[in-house]
Amino acid sequence: MIGYRVSQVIQTIKHHRWARRAAWLLACLLGLWLLAWLVVPPVARSQIERHASEALGRKVTVSKVEFLPWTLEATVHGLSIASEDGKASQVQIARIYIDAELQSLWRLAPVIDAVQVDEPVIHVTQTAPGHYDFDDVLDRLAQQPKTRDGEARPLRFALYNLALRGGALDFDDRTVGKVHMLRGLRIDVPFLSNFSADREVKVTPRLAFELNGSAFDTAAQTTPFAQNRQTEVNLHVDGFDLGPFSGYIPSRVPVRLKSGVLDADLKLGFEQEDATPRLTISGGVRLHGVRTTDAAGEPLLDFDALQVALKDVRPLQRIVDVDAIDWHGVHVHLRRDVAGAVALPGLAQPADGADATAKPTPAPQDAAWQVRLGRVGLHDGVVDWTDASLPGGKAAWKAENLQAEAWAVALPFQQPLQFRLSTQLSGGAAKGDAARLAVQGQATDVQAQAAVSVRGLSMAMAAPYLAGVLKPSLAGMLDADLGLARNGDAMAAKVATLSLGKLALDCAAAEKKCRTLRTAGIADAAKTSLAEAGRLEVSDVLVQLPQRSVTLGRVLVKQPRVLVSRAAKGGWMFEEWLPDAPEAASKGKPAAAAPAPWKLKLAALEVEGASLAFRDDAAARPVALNASGLQLRARNFSYDDGRITPVEVHLDARVAAGRAEPGRLSYEGTVAMAPALAVQGRVRAQHVPVHAFEPYVTSDLNVDILRAEGSFAGDLRYVQETAGPAVSVAGDMSLDEVRVRAKDDVAADDEGKGGRRIADRGEELLRWKSLGLRGVAVNLKPGRPLALDVRETALSDFFARIIVHENGRINLQDIRKGAATEEVAAAPPKDAAAAAVTGTAQAAAQPADPMAPVIRFGPVALTNGSVHFSDYFIKPNYSADLSELTGRLSAFSSVPSEAGGEPQMAELELRGRAQGTASLEVSGKLNPLAKPLALDIQARMRDLELPPLSPYSIKYAGHGIERGKLSMDVAYKVQPDGQLTATNKLVLHQLAFGDPVEGAPASLPVRLAVALLADRNGVIDVDLPISGSLNDPQFSLGGVILKVIGNLVMKAITAPFSLLAGVFSGADEQGSIAFAPGSAALDDKARQQLDKIAQELNNRPALKVTVAGWAQPQAEEEAWKRLRLRDLVQAQKRRAAVRAGESAADVAPVSDAEYPALLKEAYRRADMKKPRNLVGLAKDLPQGEMEALLLKSIEVPGNAMQDLALARGVAVRDYLASRQVALDRLFVGASKLQPAGEGGWTPKAELTLAAR
């Protein structure tokens, strides 16, 4: 059957011409296919190997070529390209498959249905930077001639199903010692065509591979040969490790990538219409695990992840639209080296030899970028800052938990971007919790505002930076709320509140010796603190940078404590705080123009509860002064162009020196410091320790001022003018609690003349309770004399120690050192007395000093004064006490009330007592400011007991005074020319001299003289007219008086006398009153005896009595001590009465029943050594033992027995006076001490009778 059909077909072909032609054509085609199937593979193989080897210069081999002509499919197996040395293969391809279409024949262009490349393997080696092992191939290809056909049309082609499978690439980079391996390379291009028929056909190419273990995958759609050439590419990268590529970063970039992984999922779109390309990018990019270092290998920038969500990025149109950028776990390491260079991420160092000052070539002006960021966030960031360039050591700061966010970012700005930031700061020597920093605000390219909040920032963090300008370390905690603003070039900062708590300056650890607040007496201060403040608060601050202006609303300092001290060499404490100044800059550089000075305004400054310790070791003795409770308020301070407006100031403080109660000082007024210092206000000072400043003037004094408290209430004005200071003071002042004593080691005479001292070493010299000057007005102006007005002066409770030295000089003249020398230099020569008398007119004619001070004093009041007087001019020495001095001095002045007149004379009234027995009255007129001294005074003294004046009588008469009273009326008048006229009327009552004194300068028959001078009543009345010139340095008023008395005694020897005497009937002239041992109290028996004596004296008015007390120290000391013990017990009873609200004066003597309890209380309160029990408490003792211990603790002063004898005499005299015996008939004789060892001793007071 089959054979039949074949035969039919053959017959048909034979009989039909077209059939025969078709048969032949088919036979030829089959023959060609067969020929091509047999011939093309070996020919193609040889041609490929020959031409490829010639073109590449490398040996190219092909294992096998297959060709199917009926389907136009060709396959190349085992394609290999040898390496440069020919020992290995550099490129190997397992299989290349091509499926061509017959359309290629009539379209005259290749139409390929499929192209597939399987398992290509390529080996590449970089032998040197920029050189590879295939450079020879590139050079050979570059040398081949290029075709020149300017009119050539683009090659027409249509390629389908382009695929590469299983590709691999090994890249050996010997420059960095790394090998990169690409595996699983897959490339799919389903369709590429530039035929008109295929312009709307879309293709979806794909690229995928693994590089060093990181997957990379893409997918795309494109119509590249359509008119708009629209292309879309999806790029996916998963876990692409960037670490192996760190070696390819140029060495001039100071950043080294240690690790990092890239993930990407991007969509890229491309279009081009009318020659305008358009590239769009969207999707997301993520970098994570990034670690970088600087060139030295130190950490620089690390972060956990950086994620960018791109919405629409069109780089060709300069448009960037980003949805969000999130940066997680950022750790930035910032460092500044010793040279001051800062290592910042991405900051490249200039290449060697590059001109650092060269300006970059300006880029062409392109369209501005348009950027929109929906949100930018930084999360959990850390910034480490290390600064090794500081002289005070390395600074190390850390910002942790850094959170930052910005949103609504658009460039160019159409609206302000919003941002906020928060972090925690720590580092340095700061301890405790980290500080918190928060920032929030908005900004544009020309404007910005930000609100900043700082909490708990330790000032210890700034220690390394302050070490270059401040040796002590600064401690404190900063809290602040401030705002920052920018408008163009104008920048400003506004501080709503700024607070520094626990602020302190601490002694540097390197300093071995520091004078701290604690060593200055501030016990609750920190151990090493030099200055402290509980809190510093600043509010409403505005800083304007272009205007260089600072405005502060309020500055409050709470409880600051500061030590101000000066070392013995004169350096202030703050000089020790400052480091040594750096060397001066080179003079070769021109000085930069000085910027405009800053302007400063301060509305209010307040200091509350301040303490100030002042120590000055540079004075002659250390000065120590403490101010506590200091309150300061200052208002409206302004500094502008070197001028400071007057500031309203209110100051109040307690000022203390030593352990005394502190005084108070306050000021309220204005203070201006520039251009000249000016102070005007009201000052109130109470009991300010003026004596604390005595060391500054002690070198000019022969005395020590132990205590002096100054007070003032009034107005003060001080202006520092060009010609000198102008001072005006008006108010009331006082100098209280003054105590002045002679120095322990300084003689009054600086030159050592006579070796005299101002007083005994350490002896009290001056003392007063209060010296008050009211209505004081002081005015001092340049070119004008000092004007001093005092409306009223009061001196109370004063004491003066006055000594007349052997040469007649008074000690108070030598309070100031060098005073004696100045007076000797200023004194006239010996013949000046005559010149003073004859040349008075010449002296008066001398012109007055126009700069002499103008002094006016109002009334001066003296109250309760006393003077202890000693005269060493006389041998033996003499001392006297003046007490209860009270009086007044009316107004006086240093200038005449009328031109050409005499100075105003002041009325003087003074009363007191001499030696505690005589009354003293002084009245008259004087002017202590007049030159020479002007006075006209009268004095009266009544009933002065004369026995203490025995030294004078021994010197001039050779006899001591046993008894006597002196009354005196004196008058002195000094004329303006220095001439003195005086009258002295002395009345002596019952003067009795003792026996002659052996060795006395003179010996006169004084007893006979008394008898001759006294009248029958025993009264001596003497008038002594005296005259002389005070200008004569040889004139001595005291010497003149005593010489006149001596002359009267000599003249009275020749006068008759009489002597009357009377005695008691049947009694001796002398009687005695017995006393209990150690006591000066009269018992009943003594009072009965004295009553009888008083009766006899009243019956005999011509009689007088002298009472002399006796005592024996050895026999009476024990009894004296027992009486003192009794007084202690009596004092306890008075104390108990006072506590009970009763009057101490009404307390009855201690009874025997009360004695034991009161004795026990006196023993308990006694300050003495007592027996104690096991726990250290005083034992309870029997009454006898307590008495014995108390008696043992009572000391007997050296003059106790002498005082006891005197008290007995006074007790007898006073009792007789109380019994109506006239006081002028009663006398107290010299006290007597009974020698020890004489039997029959009885304590007593002896009475001696004599006629009046």
Confidence of residue 1014 (pLDDT cuts 50, 70, 90): low
Q: Report d(CA 264, CA 993) in Å as an integer.
A: 134
The 10s digit of each residue's pLDDT in 71-82 is: 778 899 988 998
Q: Report d(CA 920, CA 918) in Å as an integer.
A: 6
The 10s digit of each residue's pLDDT in 548-604 is: 889 889 999 998 888 888 888 888 877 777 776 655 544 555 556 667 788 888 889
Answer yes or no: are the C-beta atoms of 1107 and 1246 closer than 8 Å: yes
- CB burial readout 190-200, b (16+ within 10 A) else e: bbbbbeeebee
- Residue 412: is the preceding peptide bond cis (ω within 30°)? yes
Angle 642-646-647 (CA atoms, 0-180°, nearest 5)? 110
Q: What does the block give as tokens for 978?
A: 């220095």
What does the pLDDT read at residue 618?
A: 84
Q: CA of 418: how far to CAs of 200, 248, 595, 705, in Å?
A: 47, 39, 35, 72
Task: Give me the sign of the Cα torsion angle 873, 879, 880, 883.
Answer: positive
Q: Helix or strand or coil: residue 444?
A: coil
Q: Report d(CA 557, CA 500) in Å as an integer.
A: 9
Please state the rounded mean pLDDT for residues 1020-1025: 64
Inform me whether the pLDDT recorded for 12 exceeds 80: no
Q: Name the superfamily (CATH) of residues 1070-1251.
A: OmpA-like domain (3.30.1330.60)
Of 532 and 991, the structure prediction assigns the larger pLDDT to 532
Of residues 29, 90, 105, 37, the one with CA closest to residue 65? 37
**1234 backbone dihedrals φ, ψ, rounded to 5°:** -80, 125
Inform me whether the pLDDT recorded for 727 exceeds 50: yes
Please state the rounded mean pLDDT for residues 131-159: 72
Angle 641-644-647 (CA atoms, 0-180°, nearest 5)? 155
Establish how many alpha carbons lie within 13 A of residue 1054's alpha carbon, considering only the half-sphere containing its beta carbon.
Answer: 3
Q: Report d(CA 627, CA 617) in Å as an integer.
A: 18
Report the DSSP pairing between strands 64-68 and 214-222.
unpaired
Angle 1200-1206-1209 (CA atoms, 0-180°, nearest 5)? 145
639-644 own/partner pairs: CB under 8 Å, 24+ apart? 639/598, 639/599, 639/600, 639/601, 639/674, 640/599, 640/600, 641/597, 641/599, 642/597, 642/674, 642/675, 643/674, 643/675, 644/672, 644/673, 644/674
Q: What does the block give as tokens for 534?
A: 């509980």
Of residues 987, 1037, 1035, the one with CA closest to residue 1013? 987
Query: Which of 114-123, 745-754, 871-880, 893-902: highest mean pLDDT?
Result: 114-123
Answer yes or no: are the C-beta atoms of 718 and 679 closer than 8 Å: yes
Confidence of residue 208 (pLDDT cuts 50, 70, 90): confident
Please state the rounded mean pLDDT for residues 607-618: 87
Inform me whether the pLDDT recorded for 1128 exceeds 70: yes
Q: Report d(CA 935, CA 923) in Å as an integer.
A: 11
Please state the rounded mean pLDDT for residues 773-784: 91
- Chain centroid to Cα 1207, Å, comes to 63
Who's near 355: CB < 8 A, 6+ residues apart?
Answer: none
What does the pLDDT read at residue 747?
A: 45
What does the pLDDT read at residue 733?
A: 92
What does the pLDDT read at residue 341?
A: 76
What does the pLDDT read at residue 1203?
A: 83
Of 153 and 777, the structure prediction assigns the larger pLDDT to 777
The 10s digit of each residue's pLDDT in 390-433 is: 876 788 888 889 999 988 888 887 888 888 999 988 887 667 77
Q: Helix or strand or coil: residue 199?
A: coil
What does the pLDDT read at residue 357?
A: 45
Q: Report d(CA 965, CA 917) in Å as an integer.
A: 10
Answer yes or no: are the C-beta atoms of 4 and 11 closer than 8 Å: no
What does the pLDDT read at residue 516?
A: 72
Confidence of residue 838 (pLDDT cuts 50, 70, 90): very low
Of 1086 and 364, the structure prediction assigns the larger pLDDT to 1086
What does the pLDDT read at residue 711?
A: 93
Q: Report d(CA 630, CA 60) in Å as an integer.
A: 101
Establish how many alpha carbons lie within 13 A of residue 787's alpha carbon, considering only the half-sphere containing its beta carbon.
Answer: 12
| Residue type at position 67 | F
Query: Which of 120-129, 154-163, 922-931, 1235-1244: highest mean pLDDT?
Result: 120-129
Of 275 and 109, the structure prediction assigns the larger pLDDT to 109
| Residue type at position 327 | W
Query: Which of 159-173, 243-257, 832-846, 1036-1050: highest mean pLDDT?
Result: 159-173
Q: Which residue has the tokens 């060499």?
A: 569
The 10s digit of each residue's pLDDT in 783-836 is: 888 899 999 999 999 998 888 777 667 777 778 776 555 555 545 444 443 443
CB atoms within 10 A of CB 495: 19
Length, in residues, of the chain: 1252
Inform me whether the pLDDT recorded for 650 exceeds 90: yes
- Residue 932: is the preceding peptide bond cis (ω within 30°)? yes
Percent of the chain residues past pLDDT 90, beyond the cut: 10
Please state the rounded mean pLDDT for residues 878-888: 81
Answer yes or no: are the C-beta atoms of 275 and 286 closer than 8 Å: no
Q: Report d(CA 454, CA 432) in Å as an integer.
A: 16
Answer yes or no: are the C-beta atoms of 1247 and 1071 closer than 8 Å: yes
What does the pLDDT read at residue 276?
A: 64
What does the pLDDT read at residue 1037?
A: 42
Q: Report d(CA 1072, CA 1241) in Å as an integer.
A: 12
Element (H, E) at 627: strand 623-640
Percent of the chain residues past pLDDT 70, beyond the cut: 75
Element (H, E) at 590: none
Q: For residue 28, give the DSSP letter.
A: H
Angle 696-736-521 (CA atoms, 0-180°, nearest 5)? 55
Q: What does the block give as tokens for 1182?
A: 């029997």
Of 461-465, 575-579, 714-718, 1215-1219, least confident by mean pLDDT is 575-579
What does the pLDDT read at residue 1175?
A: 63
What does the pLDDT read at residue 997?
A: 79
What does the pLDDT read at residue 486?
A: 86
What does the pLDDT read at residue 379?
A: 92
Of residues 514, 541, 546, 552, the one with CA closest to residue 530? 514
The 10s digit of each residue's pLDDT in 325-359 is: 999 999 998 888 887 777 665 554 444 444 444 44
What does the pLDDT read at residue 750?
A: 42
Q: What does the block give as tokens for 949?
A: 């004046």
Q: CA of 119: how far to CAs of 66, 94, 191, 748, in Å?
A: 18, 5, 21, 121
Inform me whether the pLDDT recorded for 254 exceeds 80: no
Q: Helix or strand or coil: residue 575?
A: helix
- Residue 695: is the preceding peptide bond cis (ω within 30°)? no
Inform me whether the pLDDT recorded for 111 exceeds 70: yes
Q: Report d(CA 195, CA 154) in Å as an integer.
A: 11
Q: What does the block give as tokens for 214?
A: 């990181």
CB atoms within 10 A of CB 72: 18
Answer yes or no: are the C-beta atoms of 1006 and 953 closer than 8 Å: yes
Of residues 57, 75, 78, the one with CA closest to residue 66? 75
What does the pLDDT read at residue 730?
A: 94
Of residues 262, 285, 383, 385, the one with CA closest to residue 329? 383
Please give the radius of gyration of the chain, using alpha carbons only, rounded to the nearest integer.
61
Confidence of residue 1039 (pLDDT cuts 50, 70, 90): very low
What does the pLDDT read at residue 717?
A: 93
Confidence of residue 1188 (pLDDT cuts 50, 70, 90): confident
Q: What does the block give as tokens for 985?
A: 């009327």
Average pLDDT, the chain: 77
Of 170-174, 511-515, 734-738, 929-933, least confident by mean pLDDT is 511-515
Answer yes or no: are the C-beta atoms of 520 and 498 closer than 8 Å: no
Inform me whether the pLDDT recorded for 314 exceeds 80: yes
Answer yes or no: are the C-beta atoms of 963 and 1227 closer than 8 Å: yes
Inform me whether the pLDDT recorded for 950 exceeds 60: yes
What pTM value is reported for the model? 0.62
